[in-house]
Structure 1
Amino acid sequence: MSASLPPLTALRAFEAAVRHRSLKKAAEELNVTPAAVSHQIQMLEELLGVRLFRRVHRGIELTASAEIFAPKLQEGFECLRQAVGRLREHRGADVLEVGAPPSFISNWLMPRLHRFVSAYPEVDVRVSTRVRQFSQLPRGVRGDVASVMGWVDEVDVLVVFGNGDYPGTRVDMLLPLTVTPLCSPALLEGPHPLRKPEDLRHHMLLHDDRGVLYEGPSFWEMWLEKAGVEGVDTSRGLHFWHSIPAMEAAVANKGVVATTKELAHLYLSTHRLVAPFPLEVRLASSYHIVSNEPASKREVVKQFREWLKQETRTA
C-alpha cells in the first residue's frame, strides 16, 4: 500500500519557502502570516519524520533531507502550474460557453445577444444547442433533469425549460411562461373563422409536446380546461417535440398550435402568427439559468447571468 501524501497546504508552504529561502516572502506570496508558514512546515517535518530547515542569521537553510526532497516537489508544482495555464489558454478568461434549446436560441436569445456583445466586446460568446430525443420517455416522465445534469458541466451558462430542481447547481428563474393558441391570420377568416374557442373543433390541432414532457398534461389540455371548452378532441393533430417546427407548421396554415407566447415574439411582431383568444395559461415550468458552482463564480458568467435577467425585465 502506498503511503498517503502530506496535506497540499503544507507542501505548498514548504515549496514557496524553498524558492524564496524566506518564510516571510513565502507568507507574502501565499497571503498568510510567517507564523502560519512556519506551522505548516513544522507539521510537514513531523509527518515526514525529518528536519527540513535550519534557521540562520539572514533566513533559512535547507537540510540535506530538504535538498533531496525539494527538486521533485518543485517539479510537481511546476507541472500543476502548467496544467492550470493550459486549461486557461484553452478556455480563455473571456470565453463564455452558453447552451440552450434550439427554440430558445432562435426565438429569444439570438435576437437579443447583440446587446450583450456590444456591452462586453472583449467576451468571446460561444452558443451551442442540443436536440434531445424524448420519444422513449413515458407520458408525464420529466425529460429535463438527466439532460441538464449531463450538459451543465460542458458549458458556463445553461438556459433550460423545466422546474428548476437541478441539485448541486446554481439556478435562477429566468422567464415565466404562458400557453395560448396561435395561428396564421388566414384562420381568422374563411369558412370556419376562429371567433371563439369552440371554433377550434373545426381546425387541425398542432401539438408542442413540451407540455407532455414537463407538465404531464398537454398544452392543449391545459388551455381548453381553463377556457371551459368541451368537445374538442385533443388526441387528433400533429405532434412536435420542439416549438420551432410546431410554430412553423402554424405559419404554413396547417392548423392552430398551443404554445408558449414568450417564444413567439418574432412570429407575432411580424404578423406571421396571431393569438385569436386573450386567455393565457401560466405554466408551472419556466426557463431557468443553470451553472455549476465553479463556473458561477467567474465574473463573465455573473455578467451574462445578470444580463439575461435584465433582458427579461426590459422586454
Structure 2
Amino acid sequence: MRRRRLPFSQLRAFEAAARHRSFKVAAEELAVTPAAISHQVRELEAWLGVALFERRTRRVVPTEAAATLYPVLRQGFDAFAEALAQLRERTETASVTLSCTPAFASQWLLPRLTDFHAAHPDIDLRIHASEATLDLSRGACLAIRYGMGPYPEYEAVELAAERIALVASPSLALSGVEDLQGVRSIEFDWYCPSLGLPTWASWCRTAGCTPSALGPRLAFTDESHAIQAAIAGQGVALLGLTLVQDELARGVLAVPFGPSLPGLRYHLLRSPETQGNATLDRVAGWLREAFAAAASPEGGETLREARDVRRCRP
C-alpha cells in the first residue's frame, strides 16, 4: 500500500480514542470536538471495512480489530514523538514552558524572575498562566500544581504545604473578631471547587464563632484581585500564605489573629519522558531552591503566629 494514501488524521484520531477509550477525552487531547473524533473513526472503519469500537452509553469499547491495530499505531506515534523531540533539542535554543495558575504567576513567580534570569541567562522561559492544564508530554514543559495528588502520569516533587489564614492590611488595625463586622470579608472563586479548600464558614467553625461575626461580602472571580483588595485595605481575606509571603514580609499585609487552616500542597510536575533533559533539570532545580529559600525565618514566624488560635467570641 502506498504511504501517500494512508489516512493519517483518521489513524491519529483512532489512536487517541483507543488509548483513552473515550471520544471526549481524545477530542480534548487533539483540540477538536467529540463529533469530529467520531466522524474520523467512522471514516477509518469505512476505509478498513471493519468496526473498531462498540458504541455504548458514555463509553466506547475497542473491538478485536482495534486491539490489533492500536499497539502498532501507539509504537509508531511514540517513535515519531521521540525522534522529533531529539531533533528539536538539537536545533532549538534552550527553552522551557512553565504551567501555573495566574495567581501563582503574578504573586510568587514574577517577583522572582529577575533571580532566575540572573542564574540562567541562556534559558528562554515561557509562562503558561492559566487554570487549564497543559499537556506536559509535548515539548519541554514543567508545571506547578496546587492539590493533594497523586499525579500518576507525571513525576511529582512536593515543594510546599500550604496554610490558609485571615489576612488584612495593617492599616485596618484589627485585633479580634469584634472588629470584623466593620470590614468586608473578601472572597474569590476557586478555579476547582471540588478541591474542598477552606471557606469563611470553615474558618469560623475552627475559630469558635459563626459567619454572623463577619461583615458584608466583597467577591472577585480572580484570586489576584482579592489579594490586591486586601492590600488596599478593602477588607479581610482568607489567603494562602505562600502566595502573599512577600507582602507579609514587606508589612503591607499581616495575619492579625488566628486560626490558620491547612490548605493543599504545591507540586512540581514533569513528564517521565523528559528524563535527561538538562534544561528542564536546571529550571526544576531553581524552582526547588526558590521554594526552599522562601521558607525564611520571618515566614516561619508568620506561620506560627497564624497557628496560634485566638478564639473568636461567639
Q: Same fold by TM (over 0.5)?
A: yes
For residue 223 of structure 1, the aligned residue among 203, 227, 244 is 203
Whole-angstrom CA distance in 2 between matches of 1:177 and 1:80: 37
Unaligned segments of structure 1, at least 5 residues: 3-78, 133-146, 189-193
- Matched to 1:110, the amino acid is L
Shift of 1:179: 0.8
**1:73-132 deviations in Å (ceiling 9; x for gaps):** xxxxxx99995675336643x2122121121112111222333322222222222211x3
Matched residue SS, 1:238: strand
**Alignment match, 2:89:** 88
Q: Does 1:164 align with 2:149?
A: yes
Shift of 1:236: 5.3
**Alignment match, 2:123:** 123
For residue 186 of structure 1, the aligned residue among 157, 160, 171 is 171
Whole-angstrom CA distance in 1 between matches of 2:181 and 2:269: 40
Query: What does residue range 93-112 of structure 1 map to in structure 2 within 5 Å?
Result: 94-112=94-112
Matched-pair contact (CA < 8 Å) for 2:184–2:214: no
Matched residue SS, 1:178: strand
**Alignment match, 1:39:** none
**1:42-94 deviations in Å (ceiling 9; x for gaps):** xxxxxxxxxxxxxxxxxxxxxxxxxxxxxxxxxxxxx99995675336643x2
Query: What does residue range 29-178 of structure 1 map to in structure 2 within 5 Å?
Result: 87-88=88-89, 91-92=92-93, 94-130=94-130, 132=131, 147-148=132-133, 150-153=134-137, 156-178=141-163
Distance change in 2, residues 1:215/1:196 (3 Å): farther
Matched-pair contact (CA < 8 Å) for 2:181–2:215: no
- Matched to 2:96, the amino acid is L
Give the TM-score of the pair, scaled to structure 2: 0.59
Matched residue SS, 2:157: strand
Matched-pair contact (CA < 8 Å) for 1:211–1:218: no
Whole-angstrom CA distance in 2 between matches of 1:304 and 1:80: 23
Matched-pair contact (CA < 8 Å) for 2:167–2:239: yes
**1:104-163 deviations in Å (ceiling 9; x for gaps):** 112111222333322222222222211x3xxxxxxxxxxxxxx43x44345511112222
**Alignment match, 2:260:** 280
Query: What does residue range 292-311 of structure 1 map to in structure 2 within 5 Å?
Result: 292-311=271-290
For residue 248 of structure 1, the aligned residue among 212, 228, 236 is 228
State how many pairs are aligned. 217
Distance change in 2, residues 1:271/1:222 (3 Å): same
Whole-angstrom CA distance in 2 between matches of 1:89 and 1:312: 31
Distance change in 2, residues 1:267/1:126 (3 Å): same
Whole-angstrom CA distance in 2 between matches of 1:269 and 1:252: 16
Matched-pair contact (CA < 8 Å) for 1:179–1:260: yes
Distance change in 2, residues 1:312/1:152 (3 Å): same
**1:246-293 deviations in Å (ceiling 9; x for gaps):** 01112232211111111112322333222211432221x122111122
Matched residue SS, 1:161: strand
- Matched to 1:264, the amino acid is V
Whole-angstrom CA distance in 1 between matches of 2:231 and 2:238: 13
- Matched to 1:88, the amino acid is E
Shift of 1:217: 5.2
Shift of 1:311: 1.7
Matched residue SS, 1:273: coil
Unaligned segments of structure 2, at least 5 residues: 3-79, 295-314
Query: What does residue range 249-264 of structure 1 map to in structure 2 within 5 Å?
Result: 249-264=229-244
Whole-angstrom CA distance in 1 between matches of 2:96 and 2:191: 31
Whole-angstrom CA distance in 2 between matches of 1:157 and 1:258: 28
Give the TM-score of the pair, scaled to structure 1: 0.59
Matched-pair contact (CA < 8 Å) for 2:182–2:215: no
Distance change in 2, residues 1:238/1:88 (3 Å): same
Matched residue SS, 1:108: helix
Distance change in 2, residues 1:239/1:103 (3 Å): same
- Matched to 2:102, the amino acid is P
Whole-angstrom CA distance in 2 between matches of 1:152 and 1:235: 43
Matched residue SS, 2:126: strand
RMSD of equivalent CA atoms:
3.2
* Higher CA-based Rg: 1
